[in-house]
Structure 1
Amino acid sequence: MASFKLLVGLGNPGTEYDNTRHNAGAQYIKALAQQSQCLLRYEKKFSGEFGKVSIGGKECFLLIPTTYMNLSGSAVQALCQFYKVLPQEILVIHDELDLPPGTAKLKVGGGHGGHNGLKDIISKLGNNRDFGRLRIGIGHPGHASKVAGYVLTKAPSTEFLKIEHAIDESLRYTDDIVAGNLNNVMNTLHSFKA
């Protein structure tokens, strides 16, 4: 398994979207940057907040696209072209409707499952789906018609705390994830439930 060079946290820009369910991926990157004492700065050429960090002795790029969710791919594409990052060296951290709050799962490849951020990244990478995904569970509102409003609102405090716990738990495995030791991580992270 290849190691990861670029960690992308998905979300929507603007204070009105802070701590909404759809911003779980961005929340992870902000927490990782803080933990690594890395200052994320807006980088125009990457259309996002960007930073460089050393994880397990390996230089990694952190990115939170500041485009809206459904245009996340253009930020990822720009950074990949500039730094010659391959799709299999990318880990995208995003909210996942199909997992309950308080859980997180790791996988490589697959479809977009209706997630507009993933859909745009797959498209901008030339339909390549070989990147890694860290999926932060946010739960499902119960009906497809309610999804848009659900992901763009803040979770009630009990749910929000569970999402935060799942992010914190995932952060504990960042060194192993970046190094490509995914099986070890999956064995423990996948059984975690806040």
Structure 2
Amino acid sequence: MSRLTYVPIPEERLKLANMFIEVQHDVPPQHRVEETAGTRTLKNREREKIEKYVSLKSGTFSKEEDKLIKRNWKTFCKLYEWDPKNPKPFLQMKLKNKVFFLNLRNRKKFVQFLANGLFDRSLYSVYNRFKVMYDPHKVSRYSEYEDKIILNSLQNSKVTINNRKFADLALTLKRTRHSVWRRYRLLKKKYKLESVDHKS
């Protein structure tokens, strides 16, 4: 079942509702800057503030970084008695885009927990890497058909990576929202589209 259609069973929802997450390490100041729980791209002011503490690393995650995320996830599951084979509520954290499984405080603490040892990465990048690692999705090249779907949905419109259209396209194409966003940016450049992009 896709994470976007996953509904926790009553026992899971009760456990999530009663969960009070505490981070097991001293959270560095750069991991206290982001206003959301690592679910939105960095705003310029957030990036500037973070880079007062550390030079942010971007690009592909190394094997060592992936191992840290896996270790942190397993540690989290052990501490909170959660099945490590069921990351779905933590990939989505929201039921039908309306009701969150965890409150904002716990969502932030969860992503900070995952980011232990990854102090030169933003919470956003760590959380997105976690989703890529634990959420089955297509990683093959985009087909012409998929490109047409993206172009027809987004051409000549004002879009941001947080636009609801990207979440809908991700579900349709069985890819991550971030992957669809990157593909859209490439297509926009390739075909010199005149849509207006915003980073926030």
Taking structure 2 as the reference length, the TM-score comes to 0.25
Q: Whose Rg is larger?
A: 2
Taking structure 1 as the reference length, the TM-score comes to 0.25
